A = this chain, B = another copy of it.
Amino acid sequence: MTEKKSLLQWELSIADHLPGNSIDCVIFGYKNQELQLLLLHWKHHDTWSLPGGFIGINEDMDEAANRILLERTGLDSVFLNQFYTFGGTKRSKMNEAAYTKRMEFLTKSKIYSSKTMEWLTKRFITTGYFALVDHEKTTPKPDFLSDKCDWIALHSLPELLMDHGEIIQKALEHLRVRLNYLPIGFSLLPKKFTMQDLQKLYEAILQRPLERSNFQRKMLKLDILTRHEKQMTGAANKAPFLYSFNKERYELLLRKGIGFSF
């Protein structure tokens, strides 16, 4: 009973939702010096997908995105950013085998009525939202359609449902552009970190090496870091300083932009 309660319910009444519109959430975390993505693994067949869902008829799209993320993964209070809307006619034809398997499973399992299945198999336009979250502060839980809700490293992504792979690539592009005009890292790094930690994060997002002294100079120039004691792990003279973000200044730059790019 306790276990049953912990499973998240994803109810679907088609009359209460806008037809043909969905939302998909690309949730980035950062672990082992690599970007990670929060994905759902479907019960009964081996398919991974982004957490997604539908928009209530009386619900703003931004509200729907937050509700969907909560219902499907248990994550709450995540700041979601809309980044792109995918309106191609061939979205469900990508990785068609997985899509067909999913639809067959849903039909056979009789989770939904045939009318709902008809609604679900129509063409959908989906709007992508992304977020950067501290994976240590989150305890993702799968919903009743999934058996796993896991962080998967960017370099080892499985094949994904429909165009979800493309949606992730677009979110990454968006994140890289964003790096050039907004500060980044607050929700991805521990409270205290070294300059190298910060550089590794930028490198993980840009997927290319950055020059150390140039990176440090630009970062310090932003004036968003507070310097603390040295991190004592090896020889004292080689120990790097620890930094934390100056939250006030960081948030100012989130509003005003950083004024330079990489």
A interface residues, Cβ below 8 angstroms from B: 18-21, 55, 57-62, 64, 82, 84-85, 87-89, 123, 125, 127, 177, 180-181, 257-262
Contact = CB atoms under 8 A, between A and B. Distances in A.
Contacts of A57: 123
Nearest to A21: B125
Contact of A21 (B21, B62, B257): B21
Given A60-B88, A62-B87, A87-B127, A257 B20 contact: no
Contact of A85 (B19, B85, B257, B260): B85
Most buried by B among A181, A257, A259: A181
A64 B123 CA distance: 15
A154 to B, nearest CB: 21
Given A177-B257, A258-B261, 5 more contacts: A85-B127, A177-B181, A180-B261, A181-B181, A259-B261
A182 to B, nearest CB: 9
A259 B260 CA distance: 8
Contacts of A89: 58-60
A206 to B, nearest CB: 11
Contacts of A59: 89
Contacts of A88: 60-62
Contact of A20 (B20, B84, B181, B262): B20
A261 B57 CA distance: 41
B261 A55 contact: no
The 10 closest A-B pairs by CB, nearest first: A61-B87, A85-B85, A261-B261, A60-B88, A85-B127, A180-B181, A60-B89, A18-B20, A260-B261, A21-B125
Contacts of A82: 84-85
A260 B262 CA distance: 7
Contacts of A127: 85, 87, 125
A36 B123 CA distance: 36
A95 B45 CA distance: 50
Nearest to A177: B181
Contacts of A261: 180-181, 257-261
A260 B260 CA distance: 5
A55 B87 contact: yes
Nearest to A262: B259
